[in-house]
Amino acid sequence: MKKHIKILKKKLKNFNPKLKEECGIFGISNNKDAAALTALGLHALQHRGQEGCGIVTFDGKQYYSEKRFGLVGDNFNKEKVLKNLLGNYAIGHNRYSTTGENTLRNIQPFFADTNAGGIGVAHNGNLTNSISLRNKLVKDGAIFYTTSDTETIVQLIAKSKRVKKIDKIVDAIFQIQGGYALVMLTQASLIGARDPFGIRPLIIGKLKNSYVLASETCALDIIGAKFIREVENGEIVLIEKDQLKSIKPFPPKKIRPCVFEYIYFSRPDSILNGKTAYEHRKNLGVELAKENDVNADIIVPVPDSGNAAALGFAQHLGKNFELGLIRNHYVGRTFIEPSQKIRNLGVKLKLNANQSTIKNKKIILIDDSLVRGTTSHKIVKMLYDAGAKEVHVKIACPEIKYPDFYGVDTPTKKELLAANNTNDEICEYIGAKSLKFLSLEGMYKAIGFDKRNENYPQLTDHYFTGDYPVKPIDELGDSKITQLSLLNTASNN
Ligand code: AMP
C-alpha cells in the first residue's frame, strides 16, 4: 500500500466519523396550543439536530423559555414542561452546533430585553461575518453570554438606533452575511427571515387561523398544517395574528438553495422545490445509473442515507435491490461518543452485513455522499468479510472538494478526502473494486436545474465547485473570537 494512503488511514482514524448537521427551526402564531404544536414540529425536525432543543413562548404579558440537552421527545413530552410555556405564540429550535461550544447557554432560542421590548430568536445556518461583527460589538462594550453566532444577531437588534422593533430587525439583518433562516418572536408578532440567496430553507404553513414557519414541510404534516409557500430569498415575513406582511429589504437576487438539503439533510418526505427529497434522491440514483459502467448482481444502499438513490439506480437498470446492510435504529449519540475507542466502532454499532443477500455476489454499494471516507472504508470491509465477491462503490453526488461556511460545517479542505486524493487513491483507501461519483451535470439534471442555462435557478454547490455565493469573511480575515472565560454552570433540568 502506498505510504500516503497509510498516513491517511492513520489520520482518519482519529476523526469523528459523524459530521455536524444543521439546525431545525419552527414558529407558530395565534394558537392556544402554541407550545405543544412547536414541540411536535421540532420532533418532526429532529434529524436536523439532536444536541439540544428549546422553546420560547409569549402570552401577551411575558416570555417563557425552556431549554434542554437531548431529544425533543425526551424533554418536551412532559406535561409539566409544556405547562410552563404559556401563550399563543411560540418559536422553537433543534440544535446541532455549527458554531459555538456544546453548553446549555448555547441552546436556542435566545431571548433578550431591548429598549423596544423583548425578542426571542432561533437560527439555522452560519454567519460568515459573525466573528468580525462580534469583535466590533465587544469593542463597543457589548457583553456576550454565549459563543453562538446567533447572539450576534440579538446584539445587533438590541444596539440598533431605529425605533420600531421591525426596523431594528431589518437593521440587524442588513449587517449579517452568510446562510441563515431565522424565526423571531416579539410581543406583537412572529417574524421569519431568509438570507438573500435562500441558502438555508424556511417555509410558511397555515393551520386554521395560525401561521407556521418551519425549516421543512414535514413539520407542517405532523400538526396538520397546509403548505403555503417558501419564505423567499432575502424576504422577511411579519405575522401578526392571522395577517402576514412581506418585507423585501434587499435588492432582488436569484435564489440559490443549498444542494445538500436535496442530497442529505432534508427528511425524505419533505418537499423541496415542488418534489419530495425522496424523489430528488431517486433521480440522483437514476442519473448515477445512466453513468454506470459496471455489471453487478445486486444494488445495496448504505442505510438510510443511500436508500432512495439506490432504489432509483436499481429501478432504472432493472437490477435487484437488496438490503445488504441492516441498520440498528437504537444507536444513540451518547453511546457512540464517550471514548475514541467506542467511536471507532461507530459504523459497526450502527450497521451489520446481511450475509444471506451478499454472499458470493457482485455488489454495487450506493451512498448519498462521501466526505472523509470513514463510512465507505468500514462498510466495504464489512461486506467483503461477509463474503461479497466484488464491491463497487457509487456516490450519488460529485466529489466534495471544498468546505462549507453556511451552516453545514463540513471538515476543512485538509480533511476532505476528494480534495486531496485522486479517484484511484480514494478507491484504494476505501478498499473497493471500483469507485464512481455522480457528475455535476448529472446532479443538476436529477434535481431539475440546469447549470449551463442562466434562466434556471442554480444551487449553492460550492462543495463541488468552490463557487461560494457569499464570501466567507471570517475565514479570510484573521478574526478570532474573544474566548469566554466563564464555565457553563447551568443545569439541564
Ligand atoms: P464520510 O463517512 O466522512 O465519508 O461521510 C459520508 C457519510 O456521512 C454518508 O453516509 C453521508 O450520508 C453522511 N453525511 C453526509 N453529510 C453529512 C453531514 N453533514 N452530517 C452527518 N452525516 C453526513
Q: Domain-by-domain residue ranges, the chain?
A: 20-254, 271-468
Pocket test for ligand 1, best of 9, 16, 284, 371 (most atoms within 8 A of CB): 371
Is residue 485 over pLDDT 50? no
Q: 459 CA distance to ligand 1 centroid (A)?
A: 19
Q: Which atom of ligand 1 is nearest to 409's Cα? A: 19
Q: 18 CA distance to ligand 1 centroid (A)?
A: 6
Pocket of ligand 1, beta carbon within 6 A: 17-19, 21, 264, 302, 305, 367-375, 408
Q: Which atom of ligand 1 is nearest to 371's Cα? A: 4
At 124, give phi and psi (nearest 5°).
Answer: -115, 125
Burial of residue 121 (CB within 10 Å: 0-12, 13-18, 19+) is buried
Amino acid occupying residue 209: N
Q: Give the pLDDT confidence score for residue 453 in this predicted structure.
A: 64
SS3 content of the chain, % helix, strand, coil (to 5): 35, 25, 45
Q: Closest Cα to atom 18, ligand 1: which residue?
A: 19
Q: For the segment 253-279, what is each residue's pLDDT rounded down to a tens digit?
A: 899 999 999 999 999 999 999 999 999
* More confident position, 491 or 221: 221
Q: Give the pLDDT confidence score for residue 411 in this predicted structure.
A: 76
Q: For the segment 359-396, what is each residue's pLDDT rounded down to a tens digit?
A: 999 999 999 999 999 889 999 999 999 999 999 999 99
Q: Give the pLDDT confidence score for residue 35 in this predicted structure.
A: 97
What confidence tier does 22 reach under pLDDT thresholds 50, 70, 90? confident
Q: Closest Cα to atom 23, ligand 1: which residue?
A: 19
Pocket test for ligand 1, best of 23, 264, 378, 464 (most atoms within 8 A of CB): 264
Query: How much is the mean pLDDT over the chain?
Result: 87
Most confidently predicted of 101-105, 431-435, 449-453 = 431-435
- The dihedral sign for the CA sequence 208, 212, 216, 220: negative
Q: Give the pLDDT confidence score for residue 21 in this predicted structure.
A: 42
Q: At 142, list the grid cell.
A: 457589548
Q: At 361, list the grid cell.
A: 455476489
Is residue 113 over pLDDT 90? no
* More confident position, 19 or 160: 160
Cβ atoms of 395 and 367 within 8 Å: the answer is yes
Q: 375 CA distance to ligand 1 centroid (A)?
A: 8
H/E segment holding residue 111: strand 110-114
Q: For the segment 203-237, what is each residue's pLDDT rounded down to a tens digit?
A: 999 999 999 999 999 999 999 999 999 999 999 99
Is residue 483 over pLDDT 60? no
Catalytic residues: 23
In the chain, pLDDT over 70 holds for what percent of residues? 85
Helices 374-385/3-13 angle, 10° precision: 100
Q: Closest Cα to atom 20, ligand 1: which residue?
A: 19
What confidence tier does 491 reach under pLDDT thresholds 50, 70, 90? very low
Pocket test for ligand 1, best of 12, 304, 375 (most atoms within 8 A of CB): 375
Q: Give the pLDDT confidence score for residue 191 in this predicted structure.
A: 98
What confidence tier does 242 reach under pLDDT thresholds 50, 70, 90? confident
CATH number of 20-254: 3.60.20.10
**355-369, 437-451, 465-479: lowest mean pLDDT where?**
465-479
What confidence tier does 79 reach under pLDDT thresholds 50, 70, 90? confident
Q: Closest Cα to atom 12, ligand 1: which residue?
A: 305
- CA-based nearest residue to 21, from 335, 265, 340: 265
Q: Where are the beta strands (DSSP E) in 252-332?
A: 271-272, 275-276, 298-301, 320-321, 325-327
Distance CA 288, CA 439 (A): 8
Is residue 472 over pLDDT 90? no
Is residue 20 over pLDDT 50? no
Name the CATH topology of 271-468.
Rossmann fold (3.40.50)
Pocket test for ligand 1, best of 305, 376, 409 (most atoms within 8 A of CB): 305
What confidence tier does 471 reach under pLDDT thresholds 50, 70, 90? confident
Is residue 344 over pLDDT 90? no
* More confident position, 103 or 34: 34
Q: 82 CA distance to ligand 1 centroid (A)?
A: 34
Is residue 134 over pLDDT 70? yes
Q: Closest Cα to atom 3, ligand 1: which residue?
A: 372
Q: Which atom of ligand 1 is nearest to 22's Cα? A: 19
Is residue 19 over pLDDT 60? no
**46-55, 75-84, 128-137, 188-197: lowest mean pLDDT where?**
75-84
Q: 203 CA distance to ligand 1 centroid (A)?
A: 25
Is residue 185 over pLDDT 90? yes
Is residue 129 over pLDDT 60? yes
Cβ atoms of 438 and 398 within 8 Å: the answer is yes
What confidence tier does 280 reach under pLDDT thresholds 50, 70, 90? very high
Q: Give the pLDDT confidence score for residue 349 in this predicted structure.
A: 78
Q: Closest Cα to atom 21, ligand 1: which residue?
A: 19
Q: 370 CA distance to ligand 1 centroid (A)?
A: 6
DSSP track, 395-411: ESS----S---SS--PP
Q: 336 CA distance to ligand 1 centroid (A)?
A: 16
Q: Which atom of ligand 1 is nearest to 377's Cα? A: 2
Q: Closest Cα to atom 5, ligand 1: which residue?
A: 371
Q: 19 CA distance to ligand 1 centroid (A)?
A: 6
Q: Give the pLDDT confidence score for residue 418 in this predicted structure.
A: 97
The mean pLDDT value for 412-422 works out to: 92
